[in-house]
Amino acid sequence: MVAVAIAVLAAVAGAIAFLVPGGSTRPVPVAAPSSSASRPCTQAGRATVVFLDPGHGADLPATRATSGGSQGIYSGENTSQGNEPADVFAVALDAKAQLERAGYVVVLSRDGDPDPARQTLWQKGLRAGTAMGGAPADIGVSIHTDLPDTVGAGQIYYDQLGGFRTNTSDGLTARFTDERSAALSRQYAQQFLTARQELGAGAIAMTPGHDFPAGRGLGSWGDIPIIMLTAQQVPWVYNEAPRTSANGLSPADRANYASAIVQGVERSLGPVVGTGTCS
């Protein structure tokens, strides 16, 4: 009788459905009681794939995208100032380790600092669009910093329908047209905003896209980051956080930023908020 009861309980536990954002449910596998390992974070029976984009990493001239949502549009890459490339890469590695312990699959836009592959922005976007065995990642998260007194500090950008980039050389324009990604991106951005504010980030503005004027010499101008335009099937959350000083982020602020990324992902994709695990 005891064996039968245990079998019945196991069958019931295995069928438990977990509520996820948007009101839908999905089965969540239940770990055996004797196991201390956290169970996987899943989407429709597969691992959830998170694409983390620590910004910058190389100085590259603008080139024309050969595929993706920004096909035909010019973009390059730069190394930035204030220790930003190294800081955000450290934040990404910390967040990646925490998310992987929770059961997520995490893919980085670059594998070192500086970027050993020397990728342009559109090439990083293509990487996000194929991060899940050739399919798009479940979420894309850009990680940047800026000086505290600049307009860019404390911002979260999300996908917007109609967002565009136009080449300065030939006038060719590409637009963001994926309705699903735009809707999810805004929902996810709100979750990241909440996570960052609860961790003491202060005032944060949520805006659709970002202004890239022609005078910046980026190869194209418009109102959406190239990486988001390229990976249109990936709902994106583009974070800018204020630096501790002109020299970059302090160790404490790097750790806080990584925690905000982890909790933002958990709030957006589930199943557990703020714990660092899925169990």
Residue 273 CB contacts under 8 Å (≥ 6 apart), including other chains: 263, 266, 267
**Arithmetic mean of pLDDT over the chain:** 86
Q: Residue 196, SS3?
A: helix
Residue 250 half-sphere exposure toward CB, CA atoms < 13 A? 5
Residue 150: what pLDDT? 82
- Taken in order of first residue, the domains within the chain and their CATH numbers are 1-30 (no CATH), 40-269 (3.40.630.40)
Q: Model confidence over 216-263: pLDDT tens digits?
A: 999 999 999 999 999 999 999 999 999 999 999 999 999 999 999 999
- Residue range 194-218, pLDDT digits in tens: 999 999 888 899 999 999 999 999 9
User: Using one digit for the tens of pLDDT, what is the confidence trace for 31-81?
Assistant: 332 222 344 566 666 789 999 999 999 999 999 999 999 999 999 999 998
pLDDT score of 28: 32
Task: Label the pairing between strands 46-47 and 42-43.
Answer: antiparallel
Q: What is the pLDDT of residue 245?
A: 93
What confidence tier does 99 reach under pLDDT thresholds 50, 70, 90? very high
Q: What is the pLDDT of residue 46?
A: 77
Is the pLDDT reported for residue 115 higher than 80? Answer: yes
Q: Strands, E, within the chain: which ranges?
A: 17-19, 25-27, 42-43, 46-47, 49-54, 60-64, 74-77, 105-108, 139-146, 155-158, 164-167, 173-175, 205-208, 220-222, 236-242
Are the C-beta atoms of 229 and 163 separated by less than 8 Å?
A: yes
- The per-residue pLDDT for range 175-196, each reduced to its tens digit, is 999 999 999 999 999 999 999 9
What CA–CA distance (Å, rounded) separates 52 from 84? Answer: 15
Please report, in angstroms and rounded to a whole number, the separation of the first and last CA atoms in the chain. Answer: 29
